[in-house]
Amino acid sequence: MLRRVILSGVLVLATITGAAAVESFVGRWAIDPAGCTSEGDTASTAPLYATATSLKWFVASCSIGKMYKVGYAVHLQARCSSEGKIKSTPITLDARGDRMRVTWDGVKVGEMRRCK
């Protein structure tokens, strides 16, 4: 009986842990709210699409390589293709609720909001 209780507890804990594993930055984000309803053609109007393995924003498509966290911020080393060039790009995504501060290749982009 004790074995069943322990096994049930482990399964519940595994389910909760697995659900919490989704990164806070995953989703669609935009600086300008208009970017949530249409595809913008500038960095400030284009939405940022983020998955656990890739990012797409404006003219850049990136695959996430290395990733580490410091507090809420996720620091990424991504391999990005942009306007015919491929380069290693450092990106920091600091998501807190429905807001996210972004630093892209050393440039502070500013605050984005999660699209709903």
From start to end of 31-116, where are the E strands?
48-50, 54-57, 60-70, 73-82, 85-96, 99-104, 107-114
pTM, 2 dp: 0.79
The C-alpha atoms of residue 75 and residue 16 are separated, in whole angstroms, by: 25
User: What pLDDT is stored for residue 15 in this prediction?
Assistant: 41
User: What pLDDT is stored for residue 38 in this prediction?
Assistant: 86
User: What pLDDT is stored for residue 41 in this prediction?
Assistant: 83
Element housing 27 (H / E): strand 27-30
Show me where the domains of the chain are located.
Answer: 24-114
List phi, psi (to 5°) of 37: -110, -10
User: What pLDDT is stored for residue 14 in this prediction?
Assistant: 43
Token match 């942009």: residue? 82
pLDDT in tens, the chain (116 residues): 555 544 444 444 444 444 446 799 999 999 998 899 988 888 889 999 999 999 999 999 999 999 999 999 999 999 999 989 999 999 999 999 999 999 999 999 989 999 98
Which stretches within the chain are classed as H helix?
2-20
According to DSSP, the residues that pair with 101 across neighbouring strands are: 94, 111
